[in-house]
Amino acid sequence: MPIEMKMKRHILLSIIALAMTSVVASAQVQLAEQQPGTLFAYPLAPDTCSTLESRCNYIITHFWDNYDISKPIVDDAAFETTFRDYVDFFRYAHRNIVMSSVRSLVNKAQSSTTNLEKVGAMAERTLYGPDAEYWSDEVYVAFAKPLAASKQLSRQLRDHYAQQLARINSVQLGAVLDFEYIGTDGQKHRLAELPEAESYILLFVDDSTDSMIGRLRLSTDVALNSLLEAGQSKLVCICLNDYSPEWSTAAAGYAEHWIVGCGKDLARMLDVRRLPCCYILNGERVVLNKSLSVEGLMSAVNPNY
């Protein structure tokens, strides 16, 4: 990213942060009173918390103080609303505060197997699942790791969380990615064998309508095509299915400049949470971003999108 663009982004984020500080401050009185559809009144940050981060730190630290998580959760809808509000504050709080709060919540929830299951389900929905508003591998792992090891949960649930942890660990930001796939020629290939480029884009798709629309949108995106035509980036489209001559014939009609392959087992091996799904790698195949939507990728390659 050019220095000028970085400066503009830094200024924009600073303005947003200042605006959010006043928003959070003005919302404290309302949060301190129990709102319809929530489980309890949220904590009120004292006036000594003068920044957005300090206010969110306080709220997260004391969020569950007025609720006994060991008692049965009878209103699932209110619990979901409350949990989503809790997670919303994660974006603006210090990492250590968030992690400490999560550990405390999971430890207290272990006094009730049913509640522990509900906490795990909401953590997955808000932090990991395909429709999560706030994806955070680090925070979700803090939930999933003790759940995968909990003897209170069924073997099926423990295995569920263990498989998610394995997928997260298989593709971490900053790690070098390499895997084997079958090309349209029916032969085995590896990412490490790709022609050199400044960056690589991985597009994972299946035979769904959403994937078809996603492929079409990317194939006609001017900014992306400019990068591919100039050789700056290579786009590798991986279809999560078995190889067949019929698939090979259809895949040959994909966009120009795309490298196309398939591999059914890759859906189990890699961290692919929704389809279509995009990864961005640098020239050394280091993972810079993952689990991007098509819109997220188009925004990344086109600042004016």
Q: How confident is the model at residue 273 (pLDDT cuts 50, 70, 90)?
A: confident
**How many whole angstroms separate alpha carbon 129 and alpha carbon 210?**
17
| Residues 247, 155 share a domain | no
| Residues 109, 195 share a domain | no
Please report whether residue 256 resides in a domain.
Answer: yes
pLDDT tops 70 at residue 108: yes
| Residues 59, 91 share a domain | yes
User: Checking DSSP bridges between strand 277-282 and strand 287-292, what pairing results, if any?
Assistant: antiparallel
Q: For residues 144 and 165, is the Cβ–Cβ distance under 8 A?
A: yes
In this predicted structure, what is the pLDDT of residue 18?
Answer: 43
Angle CA 92–93–99, to nearest 5: 135
| Residues 85, 139 share a domain | yes
Please report whether residue 103 resides in a domain.
Answer: yes
| Residues 10, 50 share a domain | yes
Domain boundary among 138, 170, 202: 170
Query: Using one digit for the tens of pLDDT, what is the confidence trace for 249-262?
Result: 999 889 889 999 99
| Average pLDDT, rounded, for the chain | 87
Beta bridge partners of 190: 180
Query: Using one digit for the tens of pLDDT, what is the confidence trace for 195-230?
Result: 999 999 999 999 999 999 999 999 999 999 999 999
Domain boundary among 150, 170, 190: 170
**Average of per-residue pLDDT across 55-76:** 93
Angle CA 202–143–282, to nearest 5: 20
Q: For residues 182 and 248, is the Cβ–Cβ distance under 8 A?
A: no
In this predicted structure, what is the pLDDT of residue 8?
Answer: 38
Please report whether residue 137 resides in a domain.
Answer: yes
> How many domains does the chain fold into?
2
**How many whole angstroms separate alpha carbon 179 and alpha carbon 240?**
13
Q: What number of residues does the chain have?
A: 305
| Residues 224, 129 share a domain | no
Please report whether residue 262 resides in a domain.
Answer: yes
Domain boundary among 170, 204, 227: 170
Q: Domain with 235 in it: what CATH number?
A: 3.40.30.10
| Containing structural domain, residue 153 | 3-170
Please report whether residue 241 resides in a domain.
Answer: yes
**Angle between the N-to-C axes of helices 113-127 and 155-170, in degrees from 0 to 180, rounded to the nearest 10:** 30
| Residues 155, 297 share a domain | no
Please report whether residue 78 resides in a domain.
Answer: yes
Please report whether residue 104 resides in a domain.
Answer: yes
**Average of per-residue pLDDT across 87-99:** 95
**Average of per-residue pLDDT across 268-281:** 90
| Residues 74, 164 share a domain | yes
| Residues 14, 159 share a domain | yes
Please report whether residue 175 resides in a domain.
Answer: no
DSSP 176: B
**Average of per-residue pLDDT across 29-35:** 52
**Average of per-residue pLDDT across 186-202:** 95
Query: Using one digit for the tens of pLDDT, what is the confidence trace for 51-61?
Result: 999 999 999 99
Q: For residues 126 and 83, is the Cβ–Cβ distance under 8 A?
A: yes
In this predicted structure, what is the pLDDT of residue 6?
Answer: 35
State the CB neighbour count (10 A cutoff) for residue 104: 14
Query: Using one digit for the tens of pLDDT, what is the confidence trace for 109-162?
Result: 999 999 999 999 999 999 998 888 888 899 999 999 999 999 999 999 999 999
| Residues 290, 232 share a domain | yes
| Residues 191, 158 share a domain | no
| Residues 252, 295 share a domain | yes
pLDDT tops 80 at residue 33: no
